[in-house]
Amino acid sequence: MLVTGASRGIGAGIARELLDRGCHVGCGYRTGGEAIGKLAADHPGQVLPVRVDLGDEAGAPAAVQSVLDTWGRLDAVILNAGRWQGGRLTTMDPAQWWQVIELNLRGNAALARAALPALTRGHRPSVVLVSSVVGLIGHPGDTAYASAKAAMIGFARSLAKEVGRDGIRVNVLAPGFVDTDMTAAVPDRSRQVISDATLLGRFGTVAEIARAAVFLSEDATFCTGSVLSADGGWSI
């Protein structure tokens, strides 16, 4: 398996959930190599650190090949890595706006493209893209990020139609607001507003989102082209 963005937050949670299931996991990271190293030390033989930069499309085949060289096959890819940068359309620098699209869409598409040949030979192969609920319903000040995450959903559903007959499932997880280091900076007042607008009355946990991602990857064997919202009811 290959999980991107595995050094922290949701990606780290996904990697831990898979390791607890006995999986061998290629843990992709751009920064946070120390965290991946510790994870590898805690799970001897199960973890492969894989340097992945979404901004380096040419590096995607090497990331996939490192997993193949180590374990001989690739059964699943969970594309969790992404980049957030907020700003209204009228105030955000156009170059930065398009960079958010590039990193979130182009980088993940390159990894999926590189992984497909190996996945056709994998055991119950699947691709999971971690999008966002803002890609489903939008959010003010997030036009670039929401556009990228919405594009990932269209990409995944189209890819599911392309590779279904090869036995490869492609699904999307759309998390809502989750307690991570990224959301730790959300002001208390904004956090309360979000919690009040969420049917379950709180932010999600990393463990909850990780279990949902692993469900799509491992257990949802008759699901493809699906989008699973894990937002506590915020988007309803």
Q: Which residues pair with 178 in a beta bridge?
A: 204
Q: How far is CA 191 from CA 24, 145, 184, 194, in A?
A: 36, 19, 9, 5
Please state, in angstroms and rounded to a whole number, the distance separating the CA atoms of residues 236 and 226: 18
Chain CA centroid to CA 142, Å? 18
Of 149, 123, 120, which is closest to residue 136 (Cα–Cα)?
A: 149
Tell me the pLDDT band of 155, cut-offs 50, 70 and 90.
very high
> Are 206 and 180 within 8 A, CB to CB?
yes
What tens digit of pLDDT does each residue of 213-228 get?
A: 999 999 999 999 999 9
Tell me the pLDDT band of 31, cut-offs 50, 70 and 90.
confident
Give one word for 161, left, alpha or beta, with left for phi > 0 and alpha for psi -120 to 50: alpha
> Are 62 and 72 within 8 A, CB to CB?
no
Q: How confident is the model over 7-36, as a mean pLDDT?
A: 94
Q: What percent of the chain has pLDDT over 70?
A: 100
Please state, in angstroms and rounded to a whole number, the distance separating the CA atoms of residues 29 and 83: 13
What tens digit of pLDDT does each residue of 60-98 get?
A: 999 999 999 999 999 999 999 888 888 899 999 999 999
Please state, in angstroms and rounded to a whole number, the distance separating the CA atoms of residues 231 and 89: 25
Please state, in angstroms and rounded to a whole number, the distance separating the CA atoms of residues 5 and 103: 13
Delineate the domains of the chain, giving CATH numbers in brackets: 2-228 (3.40.50.720)
pTM above 0.85, yes or no: yes
Q: What is the dihedral of CA 160, 130, 226, 144, to 10 degrees?
A: -90
The number of CA neighbours under 13 Å toward the Cβ of 210 is: 23
Catalytic residues: 145
Q: pLDDT averaged over the chain?
A: 94
Residue 165 host element (H or E): none
**For 47-83, b where at least 16 C-beta lie within 10 A, e where not — what string?**
bbbbebbbeebebbeebbebbbeeeeebbbbbbbbbb
Tokens for 234? Answer: 């915020």
